[in-house]
Structure 1
Amino acid sequence: MMDTSADELYLLQKHPLFKGIDVGGLDQLSNCFSFRFANFYKDEYLVLEGDPVTCVGLILSGTVLMEKSDLQGNNFFLTEIRKNELFGDAFIGSRVQSSTVNYRAMTDCHVLLFQYRDPRTFCRRNCRCHLVFSENLMYLLALKTRTFLAKVEILSTRSLRGRILRFLHIVEEYPDIIGLRGDRKQEKKLKKNQVFVPLTHTELAEYLGVNRSALVRELGRMKQENLLTWDKHVYTLISPETPETV
């Protein structure tokens, strides 16, 4: 049986990685994939560049930074990995690979670590939970790839206005791809031209790769030009103008 609390078990069952898997299935998976829970303190390294990656991590609480070291030994920020997201998954495969980045705890973190195995090496009983787990994992990896592609598309837009509009249009159509699924009750109340963005202006500026002051100024200009308005996390697109026309 998996050594875990009822709260942790409840969290695991709610996560998309374990969708369709009951408690018995989780126990089977815990044995096959060597599940273990681990705590990391702020600024502690989970994985260092060059380390062999033998486990995939699921963040149950806290935030992890993906960093890259330059030739002088300086680290620079690549991206944040937050609660319910995976890390180390970029290096999984039939053979053990070395990490090309650092994973450092931005806050105190509680994570689930599991050893990845090629689906062809699952137990001989062909348990249903293994198949479901594999399908869920592949879906999440594909979703993560589409999320990175969406961000590349947004950041490839030259103007700040273009980035804002491209971001809002993608969130409106594909909130799961952007990884910003917000309050579903709030989303149900939205009108056709409204978008719910569960980010502060500071967080949105970081996502768009711009200064917060510049973002606020541009949003103000867009409001004056009757392109959009916003009320807290709800953005209303007034003009039919698209990112391709700015």
Structure 2
Amino acid sequence: MKKEITYKDIPLFANIKEMDLNQLFTCLRSYKQKYKRGENIIMEQDNVQYIGVVLSGMVHMLKDDIWGNQTLLGFMEPGELIGESFAVRRSTESYVRFQAVKDSEIIFLAASSIIHNCPRQCGFHAQITQNMFQLMGEKTVQLMEKIEVSSKSSLRDKILAYLSLMSQKQNSRYIESPLTRTELAEYLCANRSAMTRELAAMKEEGILDYDKNTYNLKK
């Protein structure tokens, strides 16, 4: 079970003194909101004025096509940002949908108060701006990882590319995936039954072993 995250664990607030947080939240016009599993947080075409930080739960970034099919573009766990790429654009209209896939709590911070000069000249303002752009760079890398995985020519290669990325991030061949089997199939843009068959074939060949959302890479 994951440890509950605190504000000092959140990368957006790195190098900001705990005593300054209350002033920061006032300056950035913050508010918290809880969402039930399956509830939408930001809809496509919403104007995004606030940057969200996931405090608990998990959020999926989804793209829906005109036929109602959805593609899982990314997932955000506690400490990660949602909506920041849209909130800092000239046009703040969201291109995607953000949905809570577990009961979640989000703290929202006014984007304009982060990216513009602070009239109060708060000491932490330059730091949180620096932190935000660092995190936006990391989000870009995550989307590149998604492209890397989904661009593989075969389903087996997509599965192995995803597991390889998780292995590198967790520094272990024993991997705990944050995605359920259904969510993983959606992330890979694959049929769940076909993915299950491919996993079973790789297990039989001794390439990997698995149990629910844990995987052990053997080769």
TM bucket, shorter chain: 0.7 to 0.9
Deviation at 1:108, TM superposition (A): 4.1
Equivalent residue, structure 2, for 1:47: 42
TM-score, normalization by structure 1: 0.70
How far apart, in 1, do the equivalents of 2:203 and 2:64 lie?
41
Equivalent residue, structure 2, for 1:230: 209
Q: 1:62 aligns with which of 57, 63, 72?
A: 57
Q: Check if 1:208 corresponds to 2:188.
A: yes
- For the 8 Å contact 1:67–1:75, the answer to whether it is kept is no
Q: Check if 1:77 corresponds to 2:58.
A: no
- Aligned AA (1:27): N
Which digits, 9 at most, give the CA deviation of each residue in 1:37-92, with x for residues without a partner? 12334555433333322111112233445455656xx6443436444232211212
TM-score, normalization by structure 2: 0.77
Deviation at 1:157, TM superposition (A): 0.5
How far apart, in 1, do the equivalents of 2:158 and 2:64 lie?
28
- Aligned AA (2:187): Y
- For the 8 Å contact 1:66–1:101, the answer to whether it is kept is yes
Q: 2:134 aligns with which of 133, 139, 147?
A: 139
Tell me: CA distance 1:94–1:104, structure 2 relative to 1, closer, same or farther (3 Å).
Answer: closer
Equivalent residue, structure 2, for 1:3: none
CA RMSD, 1 decimal: 3.0
In structure 1, stretches of 5+ residues that fail to align are 1-7, 176-180, 182-186, 239-246
- For the 8 Å contact 2:64–2:71, the answer to whether it is kept is no
Equivalent residue, structure 2, for 1:198: 177
Equivalent residue, structure 2, for 1:4: none
State how 1:12-161 maps to structure 2 within 5 Å.
Answer: 12-42=7-37, 44-68=39-63, 75-79=68-72, 81-84=75-78, 85-93=80-88, 95=90, 97-117=92-112, 119-123=115-119, 125=121, 127=123, 129-161=124-156
- For the 8 Å contact 2:71–2:186, the answer to whether it is kept is no
Deviation at 1:149, TM superposition (A): 0.7
- For the 8 Å contact 1:64–1:82, the answer to whether it is kept is yes
- For the 8 Å contact 1:67–1:76, the answer to whether it is kept is no
- For the 8 Å contact 1:57–1:87, the answer to whether it is kept is yes
How far apart, in 1, do the equivalents of 2:64 and 2:201 lie?
39
In structure 2, stretches of 5+ residues that fail to align are none
How far apart, in 2, do the equivalents of 1:107 and 1:229 lie?
28
Deviation at 1:222, TM superposition (A): 2.7
Divergent runs of 4+, >6 A: none
Larger RCO (alpha carbons 8 Å, 6+ apart)? 2
- For the 8 Å contact 2:60–2:98, the answer to whether it is kept is yes
Deviation at 1:31, TM superposition (A): 2.0
